[in-house]
Amino acid sequence: MRVRLHSRRAKRLRYQHLERLDPTPAGRFFSCRSDFLTASVASTASLTAMLRTTPLAVFFLVACAALPAPEVVIQVEPPTGEQSQDRARIVAAFERAEPGDTIRFAAGTYEVGPIIRVVTPDLTLLGHPDGTTLRGGDGFDAGADFGIEQDAIDALGVLHLFEGGAVVRGLTFTDSFWGLLLGWHFGLEWDERMPENPGGFTVEGNTFRNVRNGIRLTSWGEARTVVRENTFEDARFGVGAIGSGITIEGNRFALLSEASQDDTDSAIAIGGERVAASSSDNLVAGNEILGHRTGVLLYIDGARIGTGNIVRDNRIDLRAEGGLAGVVLIVRGERGADGPPAGGLIGTLIEQNAVTGATWAAISIGAGCNDSRVVGNTFSELQGPAISLDGSGTEVSGHAPDIEIRQAETSVQPAAENP
């Protein structure tokens, strides 16, 4: 039964307590007052008894504490086309933001570079329905050789979200060395600092165009990181990830320009090295990959073990000149005393992928990548074997009977690290 307080005395008491306790804006005040007035009780008698024994201020605060915090949306002022002004407007929005806030961009193109670094966790970034583009800089060439000059690289970056929990939706990143950096990243002045929340990113429905690195991320927290339904066009390295609990699904990768291709590019690379203790429980599923030299690369250094990774239902077309391999598992770095790697990728499932046009091997499993299961994949227009094996205990099943399986002396080792 719902009971409303109608007496003038109750109203007077209520407003006196509100003035004393809560000088917040009217919108928040009225939302609390409404819930207080419509509090559900079993009967009028129970409400009367409660008010006699409980100070009204305490009753009011308990009622309001149960309400969800109001969503805070910070609007970025519209772009001007002038780099210093556009960048300042974005920085101002991030400086106002607190954990849990939403930053909504206006329509148009913001000139951003150099890269903007943000340490506030749990932010949501939203593009405008009419389209929001964030540009790194003029004259960028995704195929150029940048070397390792950090200042020059950062001058053509867009965004770096250091803490986890961020959501990024509906933005276009273009003309940049770094499109979107998430989490810890090597080569920065704060290398020794680790994120407090190293995971739980969500990146979906964005476009990365003419960038050297679309998304680079590290994630090893309890919450999964999800990269879903994004489009990568002429992104030399689409998604490069370090860590565990990462899902990359339903994305489209296409290298349309020969200038953006070289011997090291990969659409998706997930590894275990540096700050990541492992590379486990990662899922790469339902992606479409066109024109890269390597489709999906899973790697780990020789001192670590990675388990439970899955590569499933991807469509990989490598018919562009020099396409090497569709799915590659490798171990890098330190090796055991007798030659094979001390660490490795164990129990990886590779199933129901379709690979076209590989010149090395459609699927290549390197030394130390043991107990893999390769199930039900399809292959066409290959110049090398369908499957190249250098790991032990691999189970191969569900394929056409005439596919070539080659025991490799040396497995393909595309570059696992973006410059």
Please say if the pLDDT value at position 272 is more than 60.
yes
- Band of residue 89 on the pLDDT scale cut at 50, 70, 90: very high
What is the pLDDT, as a whole number, of residue 256?
Answer: 78
CA pair distance 395, 412, nearest whole angstrom: 20
What is the pLDDT, as a whole number, of residue 141?
Answer: 53
Least confident range from 27-31, 371-375, 412-416: namely: 27-31
- Band of residue 380 on the pLDDT scale cut at 50, 70, 90: very high
Average pLDDT, the chain: 79
3-state secondary structure of 55: coil
Whole-number percent of the chain with pLDDT over 70: 69
- Band of residue 59 on the pLDDT scale cut at 50, 70, 90: very low
- Band of residue 1 on the pLDDT scale cut at 50, 70, 90: very low
Span 371-375, average pLDDT = 96
Chain centroid to CA 33: 40
Q: pLDDT tens-digit profile of 335-368?
A: 545 555 567 999 999 999 999 999 989 999 998 8
> What sign does the CA torsion over 113, 115, 120, 123 have?
positive
pTM of structure: 0.79
- Band of residue 163 on the pLDDT scale cut at 50, 70, 90: very high
Query: How do strand 310-312 and strand 172-182 relate by DSSP bridges?
Result: unpaired
Least confident range from 39-53, 240-254, 347-361: namely: 39-53
Residues 6+ apart with CB under 8 A from 236: 142, 143, 211, 212, 213, 255, 260, 261, 262, 265
CA distances to 53, 167, 329 from 226, rounded to whole Å, are 50, 10, 21
Whole-number percent of the chain with pLDDT over 90: 53
- Band of residue 110 on the pLDDT scale cut at 50, 70, 90: very high
Span 270-274, average pLDDT = 82
CA distances to 6, 62, 258, 327 from 55, rounded to whole Å, are 18, 11, 74, 67
Q: pLDDT tens-digit profile of 142-153?
A: 545 444 455 556
Please say if the pLDDT value at position 105 is more than 70.
yes
| φ, ψ for residue 180, nearest 5 deg | -140, 120
CB 202 within 8 A of CB 221: no
Where do the DSSP E strands lie in 5-81?
73-75
- Band of residue 15 on the pLDDT scale cut at 50, 70, 90: very low
Span 64-89, average pLDDT = 85
- Band of residue 137 on the pLDDT scale cut at 50, 70, 90: confident
Least confident range from 174-188, 229-243, 292-306: namely: 174-188
What is the pLDDT, as a whole number, of residue 269?
Answer: 96
- Band of residue 13 on the pLDDT scale cut at 50, 70, 90: very low
What is the pLDDT, as a whole number, of residue 21?
Answer: 30
- Band of residue 414 on the pLDDT scale cut at 50, 70, 90: very low
Bigger pLDDT: 29 or 386?
386
DSSP 370-401: BS-EEES-EEES-SS-SEEE-SSS-EEESS-T
- Band of residue 310 on the pLDDT scale cut at 50, 70, 90: very high
What is the pLDDT, as a whole number, of residue 197?
Answer: 80
Per DSSP, 184 falls in state: -
| φ, ψ for residue 272, nearest 5 deg | -120, 110
Please say if the pLDDT value at position 33 is more than 50.
no
What is the pLDDT, as a whole number, of residue 408?
Answer: 66
Bigger pLDDT: 243 or 302?
243
CA pair distance 273, 46, nearest whole angstrom: 62
